[in-house]
Amino acid sequence: MNVFTGLKGKTALVTGASRGIGKATALSLAKNGCNVIINYVHKKDDANEVADEIIQTGQDALVIQADVSKIEDIERLQAQTMECFDGIDILVNNAGIHQHLKSWEMTPGDWKRVIDVNLTGVFLVCRAFVPDFIKKRNGRIINISSVIAHKGTDHECHYASSKSGILGLTRSLALELAPYNITVNAIAPGYIDTDMTSFSTKKERLDTLKIVPLGRIGNPAEIASAVCFLASDLADYITGETLNINGGLYC
């Protein structure tokens, strides 16, 4: 059953869609009537499983391997997408990586890799698809940031910097693209139950629950529903905003 209006028949690209929030988002968009391009870097089998689930909903799915930090990969991603679907209507920039390192422990290479994937990757993918959005005078861009963009972290300043940068990029793109009826928004999840936020011990998980006012870890489907909302007709007049979904951890 379609919950969000205006998504049926649209085509969406979700980067980093083989697992976690990206997978949940791809499936939720499909259940609301979207065809979905599933981008992945390493987990081909997982990406194909997501595609199979989407096809079972009656929607089309396309799996494309690409590293969002590499211009040549993005050019190939864009070309394959245009060839198979003649463009997209919705872009979800979800791909991201992180490392648990103090600032003095990370190398310049560590810093560059996280910034390249998490922030430059968003820019490169937008740069590839925005011209078609402008031509059509329509489009939705949803960028996945993090609560860490607001509150910082004591163990991965490169991740915090990249996710903070996404918020500035989102606001600026929103201003640039508003005249073309293209909305650009961000979602900043808190602790969500994915392998990227897995806890090494039971105590670590319990300690985290103590600092979340709602007393629980979020689930990927809750982020996916917010993406569908921002991509739908219900969010026509929302742009340049950041939707914080963190159980009250930052408000």
State how far the Cα of 8 lies from the Cα of 60, in Å rounded to an integer.
Answer: 12
Quick one: which of 213, 145, 131 has its CA closest to 180?
131
Choosing from 40, 159, 180, 191, the catalytic residue is 159
Q: How far is CA 61 from the centre of its chain?
A: 17
State how far the Cα of 53 lies from the Cα of 31, in Å rounded to an integer.
Answer: 10
Measured over the CA atoms of residue 30, residue 121, residue 142 and residue 139, the dihedral's sign is negative
**DSSP assigned state of 4:** S
State yes or no: is 159 an active-site residue.
yes
Catalytic residues: 159
